[in-house]
Amino acid sequence: MATFVVLASFTDQGVRNVKETIGRAEAFTALPSRIFIGRLAGTTSLRSARAPDDEAATALSLSVCSRGNVRPETLRAFSFDEMKKILGKMV
């Protein structure tokens, strides 16, 4: 499974509904089981997610974004072993 870092920033709508932040964060934590077999960890605005592939991570990010409260930025994270492989492919 791949690891992703998800950084979320409030939209104007999210700021107007800021009192609902905790409830939205709890709902976000439940999303992965519906989208992919994965795990979320982290704070309300910064999460790490394990997903089987890039498509599942993108589906999660778009699902969150479509609700209009936050604008997520999803970044692929690499383990030391994965980074060794990547560096080994450099020319």
Instruction: Report the pLDDT value the prediction gives residue 89, as an integer from 0 to 100.
Output: 97
Domain ranges of the chain: 2-88
* Cβ 7 vs Cβ 44: under 8 Å: no
Q: For 28-51, write each residue's pLDDT tens digit.
A: 777 665 555 455 555 556 777 788
The pTM of the full predicted model, rounded to 2 decimals, is 0.68
Rounded Cα distance, 83 and 69, in Å? 34
Q: Distances from the Cα of 33 to the Cαs of 6, 13, 60, in angstroms?
A: 17, 26, 10
Please give the mean pLDDT across all residues of the chain: 82
pLDDT given for residue 37 in this prediction? 46
Positions of the chain with pLDDT lower than 70, given as ranges: 31-45
Rg (Cα) of the chain, in Å, rounded?
15
CATH class of 2-88: alpha beta
Q: Is 18 left (phi over 0), alpha (psi -120 to 50) or beta?
A: alpha
Would you call 84 helix, strand, or coil by DSSP? Answer: helix
